[in-house]
């Protein structure tokens, strides 16, 4: 089952046109993800240009990835894929995400599923080439509050938010790159809180064993993220890359140096792209900075800003760094330089032979502003392939939907679900009553207009306005009747709200709220492998997956 993205709330317009009418947004992207020719084209371009004037070879990158992935407890399949990267006929299919606790919201799981399956499809379509899945961990992001929590349903099917604060306390500001934060003894409180809230099942102990192995005291959140991922994905061959790494940063010196040397050129390129996007009435996603680089000082991440003629400054500090000193720091300590959202994709595709990037709706929208930035850095923007999007319906939800004949297109509209339920249980059909009245009223108004126009056609406009205002007031009255009806059926309505909270928690898509641990605890470690089998990466609608499809 599936629902068109056009019927979902809060989906950005650029993404909708990217899916449904690519001709409208074609000028903002280098390739069409539906075009076989464009896949061939990116492979050809990357074959000829990837080596370029880089200061490293494929072997150098592979050696760094081997070291990182050994520490992440990656599988033999991963190391086999890293070996493939040494060959000129191998290309990366990349995705990425912030290092959320236990992987964060479960769309983070959907990204590597899309990546792994697309690698398999591309190998079939282009047998002369190899494609390996790569996960770029956004360990340098410093928005800790965004990644320090997960949401799960408890034993009563109520949504619970479980948080982890290092040192057991909140701070006014968080500027440390999240991937560097070390797990401390307060993570025990997080685990205890999670255990106390979830339903105890035959899989609970196994889940907590995996959490225990991954999130050890003294391990960074970035490392724990990769280890947990590797445990739950087992032998799927994902290559993890942590950009917050001294050796990686050495390879990225040329990108950082160009940004410092040429500012504000990148910013101006994006401003021009943004103006074109706004001309077409799209909402831009990125606000560029004069310099799209951070500097990490005393383990905190500060945006580099233009200062005086001879110096840079660090935002929200009084610290000035002379230009000569800044270049010296870049040479001696590149690990202290960090890209922002604009420069991160450039760094990613400078390092990797990226043919395809698996992107969510917001990512595709902000990539629309970056095409000319890629050109400026002499890198070809990859094919942007939409990640899978899915809502999982558990048995109790499916039974409820079937019992009350709920239309799948109405799953994300609580009021329509309530109306469907009240209709089935035989209550007064407020919607039906008012709809019938509206039809009769409109018919009567039409007849009156015809007759009145013979008297004075100039007054017909006034008649129509009065009629419309009457209908608007009637709509307000209809909602009042619906609310009264809801109060009379409070128990039923509360049940609907609980069901709707499962389908559409906090008025957001399930994949953007619920953590994968909820499903692993309830349905076991095979859940992900079974989910992967039931997902179609070539269906560019929002997929509705019944749990029986996954566990049967």
pLDDT of residue 77: 97
Among 63-67, 283-287, 444-448, name the one with the lowest average pLDDT.
444-448
Q: Are 368 and 307 in the same domain? A: no
d(CA 463, CA 494): 43
Q: Is residue 450 part of a domain?
A: no
Largest Cα span, the chain: 89
Q: Are 188 and 329 in the same domain? A: no
Q: Is residue 169 part of a domain?
A: yes
Q: What is the mean pLDDT of residues 281-292?
A: 94
pLDDT of residue 250: 97
pLDDT, tens digit, for every residue of 171-221? 888 999 999 999 999 999 999 999 999 999 999 999 999 999 999 999 999
Q: Are 351 and 335 in the same domain? A: no
Q: Are 370 and 314 in the same domain? A: no
Whole-structure pTM value:
0.89
Angle at 101 between CA 98 and CA 107, to 5 degrees: 60
pLDDT of residue 426: 66
Q: Are 243 and 208 in the same domain? A: yes
pLDDT of residue 124: 97
pLDDT, tens digit, for every residue of 287-301? 999 999 999 999 999
DSSP-derived secondary structure letter, 457: G
Q: Is residue 509 part of a domain?
A: no
Q: Are 174 and 108 in the same domain? A: yes
Contacts of 449 (CB under 8 A, 6+ apart): 460, 463, 464
Q: Is residue 274 part of a domain?
A: no
Contact 248, 242 (CB under 8 A): yes
* CB neighbour class for 463 (10 Å; exposed up to 12, middle 13-18, buried from 19): middle
Angle at 448 between CA 445 and CA 451, to 5 degrees: 155
- Pick from 113, 30, 19, 22: nearest CA to 367: 30
Neighbours of 209 (CB within 10 A): 11
Number of domains in the chain: 2
Q: Is residue 315 part of a domain?
A: yes
Contact 101, 164 (CB under 8 A): yes
pLDDT higher than 80, residue 425: no
Q: Are 157 and 200 in the same domain? A: yes
pLDDT of residue 492: 79
pLDDT higher than 80, residue 135: yes
pLDDT, tens digit, for every residue of 55-99? 999 999 999 999 999 999 999 999 999 999 999 999 999 999 999
Q: Are 373 and 312 in the same domain? A: no
Q: Is residue 506 part of a domain?
A: no
- Hey, is 330 helix, strand or coil? helix
Show the domain range for 313.
293-339
Q: Are 215 and 348 in the same domain? A: yes
Q: Are 110 and 167 in the same domain? A: yes
DSSP-derived secondary structure letter, 54: -
- Name the more confident of 466 and 106: 106
Q: What are phi and psi of 388, to 5 degrees?
A: -65, 145
pLDDT higher than 80, residue 429: no
Q: What is the mean pLDDT of residues 324-336?
A: 96
Q: Is residue 448 part of a domain?
A: no
Q: Is residue 360 part of a domain?
A: yes
d(CA 322, CA 328): 10
Q: Are 204 and 242 in the same domain? A: yes
Q: Are 244 and 326 in the same domain? A: no
pLDDT, tens digit, for every residue of 489-503? 777 778 888 889 999
**Averaged pLDDT of the chain:** 93
Q: CA-based Rg of the chain, rounded to a whole angstrom? A: 27
Residue whose structure tokens are 């996954």: 550
Q: Which two tokens stand for residue 266?
A: 């990148």
pLDDT of residue 303: 97
């Amino acid at each position: 089952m599936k629902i068109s993205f056009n019927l979902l709330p809060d989906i950005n317009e650029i993404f909708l046109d990217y899916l449904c009418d690519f001709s409208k947004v074609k000028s903002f992207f280098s390739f069409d993800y539906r075009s076989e020719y464009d896949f061939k084209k990116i492979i050809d371009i990357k074959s000829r240009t990837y080596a370029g004037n880089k200061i490293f070879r494929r072997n150098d990158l592979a050696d760094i990835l081997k070291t990182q992935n050994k520490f992440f407890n990656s599988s033999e399949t991963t190391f086999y894929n890293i070996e493939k990267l040494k060959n000129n006929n191998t290309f990366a299919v990349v995705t990425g995400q912030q290092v959320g606790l236990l992987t964060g919201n479960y769309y983070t799981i959907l990204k590597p599923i899309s990546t792994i399956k697309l690698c398999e499809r591309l190998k079939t379509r282009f047998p002369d080439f190899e494609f390996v899945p790569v996960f770029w961990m956004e360990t340098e992001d410093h928005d800790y509050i965004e990644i320090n929590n997960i949401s799960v349903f408890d034993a009563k099917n109520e949504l619970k938010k479980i948080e982890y604060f290092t040192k057991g306390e909140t701070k006014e500001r968080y500027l440390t790159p999240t991937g560097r934060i070390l797990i401390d003894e307060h993570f025990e409180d997080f685990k205890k809180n999670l255990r106390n809230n979830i339903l105890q099942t035959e899989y609970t102990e196994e889940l907590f064993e995996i959490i225990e192995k991954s999130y050890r005291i003294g391990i960074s959140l970035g490392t724990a993220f990769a280890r947990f991922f590797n445990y739950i994905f087992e032998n799927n061959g994902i290559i993890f890359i942590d950009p917050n790494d001294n050796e990686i940063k050495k390879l990225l010196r040329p990108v950082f140096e160009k940004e410092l040397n040429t500012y504000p050129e990148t910013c101006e390129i994006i401003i021009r792209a943004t103006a074109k996007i706004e001309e077409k009435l799209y909402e831009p996603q990125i606000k560029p900075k004069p310099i799209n680089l951070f500097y990490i000082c005393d383990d905190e991440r500060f945006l580099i800003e233009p200062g005086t003629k001879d110096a840079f400054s660090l935002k929200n500090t009084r610290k000035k760094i002379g230009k000569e000193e800044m270049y010296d720091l870049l040479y001696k300590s590149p690990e202290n330089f960090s890209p922002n959202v604009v420069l991160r994709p450039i760094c990613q595709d400078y390092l990797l032979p990226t043919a395809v990037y698996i992107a969510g709706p917001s990512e595709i929208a902000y990539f629309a502003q970056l095409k000319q930035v890629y050109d400026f850095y002499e890198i070809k923007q990859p094919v942007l392939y939409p990640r899978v999007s899915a809502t999982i319906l558990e048995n109790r939800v499916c039974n409820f939907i079937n019992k009350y004949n709920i239309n799948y297109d109405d799953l994300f509209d609580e009021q329509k679900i309530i109306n469907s339920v009240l209709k089935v249980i035989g209550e007064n059909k407020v919607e039906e009553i008012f709809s019938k009245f509206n039809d009769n009223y409109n018919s009567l108004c039409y007849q009156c207009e015809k007759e009145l126009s013979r008297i004075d056609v100039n007054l017909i406009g006034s008649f129509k306005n009065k009629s419309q205002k009457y209908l608007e007031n009637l709509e307000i009255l209809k909602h009042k009747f619906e609310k009264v009806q809801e109060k009379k059926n409070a128990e039923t309505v509360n049940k609907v709200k609980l069901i709707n909270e499962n389908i559409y928690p906090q008025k957001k898509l399930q994949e953007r709220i619920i953590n994968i641990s909820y499903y692993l605890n309830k349905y076991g470690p095979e859940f992900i492998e079974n989910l992967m089998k039931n997902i179609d990466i070539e269906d560019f609608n929002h997929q509705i997956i019944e749990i029986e499809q996954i566990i049967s």
